[in-house]
Amino acid sequence: MNRRLLPECHADTLLVRMLAKSEPIHQPGIGDVFNSLQHSAKKLKAIGVIDEGKRNKVFTYYREFAVKKTYPNFKLLTHPNGLHSLIETKGEGFEKFITLCADEAVVKHKILADFKRLRQLAKSPAAEFNQDLKDLINTLIQKKSPTLLKMREILADYAD
C-alpha cells in the first residue's frame, strides 16, 4: 500500500490505482484524507484526491492549502508544509468528473449512458473492482484524456 496516495472514495481509488500504477490507501471520506495527511502521512510527501465541494471548506486543514495550478477539470493545491498536495476534481463526485474527462476525449462508453447508474456505482465499494469502470478509465487513458494524462504526471511524483 502506498501511504502517499490518498483517494477519497472507491471510484477515485480505482482511478488513482490505474493512473499511478500503485496501490493507494482508500479513504472513506474527505475528513479521512485530511486526518491521514495530518497524522499517518504527517512527515511524508503525500497527495489526497478529493471531489470539489462546499463541504471541503469546513475542514480547517483544507483551508490551509493554496491553489498551485488550475487545469480544466481539476485543481492542484499545495500545503505550506511543502509535503502535502491535493488534487481536487471538478464536479461534486467522481461520476461528474469522469463524464467531463470522457467529453474532452470524445469517448462514448456504455456506462456513461446511464448517469444515475454511474452515480450509484461510483458511491459503491464495488466501484474499485467494476470492470465497466476499469474499461472506461482504460479507454480514457488510451484516448489520451488531457486531464487524466496530467493527473498521471502529478501522481507519478508520489507513487512508490
Q: What is the pLDDT along the chain (160 residues), one digit of tens a residue?
A: 778 999 999 999 999 999 999 999 999 999 999 999 999 999 999 999 999 987 788 899 999 999 999 999 999 999 999 999 999 999 888 999 999 999 999 999 999 999 999 999 998 999 999 999 999 999 999 999 999 999 999 999 988 6
What is the residue type of 101? C
pLDDT at position 88 is 96
* pLDDT score, position 2: 74
Give the β-pairing of 74-78 and 66-70.
antiparallel
Instruction: Output the nine-digit C-alpha cell for 38.
Output: 495530518
* Burial class of residue 113, CB neighbours in 10 A (0-12, 13-18, 19+): exposed
| Predicted pLDDT of residue 158 | 87
Q: What is the per-residue pLDDT for 143? A: 96
At residue 148, the pLDDT reads 97
pLDDT of residue 62: 95
Are 59 and 31 in contact by the 8 Å Cβ rule? The answer is yes
Q: Is 52 exposed, middle or buried (0-12, 13-18, 19+ CB in 10 A)?
A: middle
Q: Identify whether the C-beta of residue 11 lies closer than 8 Å to the C-beta of residue 121.
A: yes
Q: What is the reported pLDDT for 126?
A: 93
Q: What is the pLDDT of residue 55?
A: 79
C-alpha closest to that of 13 among 116, 153, 155, 139: 155
The pLDDT score that the predictor gives to residue 3 is 84
